[in-house]
Amino acid sequence: MNWLTAALGASVGKKLMMALTGLAFTGFLAGHLAGNLTIYGGKAAFNGYAEKLHSLGPLLKVFEVGLIGFAAVHILTGLWLFLQNRKARPVRYTLDTSPGGRTLSSRTMPYTGLIILAFVAFHLTNFTFADKTRTTIFEIVSAAFSSPIYIGIYVAAMIVVGLHVRHGFWSAFQTLGANHPKLMPTISALSVAAGLIVGFGFGLLPIFISLRY
């Protein structure tokens, strides 16, 4: 196993872990969004989806444990990389002008990441761990989004997630070595699209719920 720790502990290895776990989270977001879209179908459709999901039982548990494991790897590796990168330039530039490489999205990855972590904790306490013995998930969600503060937090958080995905998606492919003139234009465009889909797809839901219910 020595070779494995050496391979993953090096700079490129740590980036590989970020890329693989990051892509897995993109897949999770796609699934989560698809499920959430049932809200547009109304109360019965959304509660039905939640029931189906929970009927998966042990499979769902395995999935949750997997997500927690991936999150631990993504967060800890990300922090490790962030601290190493800061240490690599102890004296900052007095004047630092970009030739046009970095983007708002790429520059803010560690910070958007930490905001997402805080948001996930908030989101899980709101909905996932809420007591559902006497009520349904739909009622909890529609009650939450009757508050403008909740809507504000959720919409802002989804913009942050969209920003994170916008750089993370193409960056993962580059790190995994999938950069070729044949592929990269499509991957880059998909990355922007993924950021927009995540931002708008999730971000419009609280607004829709507050207006409709």
Q: Return residues touching other proteins (CB under 8 A).
A: 2-3, 6-7, 10-16, 81, 84-85, 87-102, 106-107, 109, 167, 170-171, 174-181, 184
Q: Are 133 and 201 in contact (CB under 8 A)?
A: no
Q: Which is nearer to other proteins, 5 or 146 (by Cβ)?
A: 5
Gap between the Cα atoms of 116 and 123, Å rounded? 10
Q: Which is nearer to other proteins, 59 or 178 (by Cβ)?
A: 178
Q: Which is nearer to other proteins, 78 or 206 (by Cβ)?
A: 78
Tell me the one-letter amino acid at 94.
Answer: T
Gap between the Cα atoms of 150 and 209, Å rounded? 12
Residue of 105, 198, 96 whose CA lies nearest to 157:
198
Tell the smallest beta-carbon distance from residue 194 to other proteins (Å). Answer: 15
Tell the smallest beta-carbon distance from residue 204 to other proteins (Å). Answer: 29
Tell the smallest beta-carbon distance from residue 67 to other proteins (Å). Answer: 24
Tell the smallest beta-carbon distance from residue 89 to other proteins (Å). Answer: 4
| DSSP tally for the chain: helices H, then strands E | 9, 0
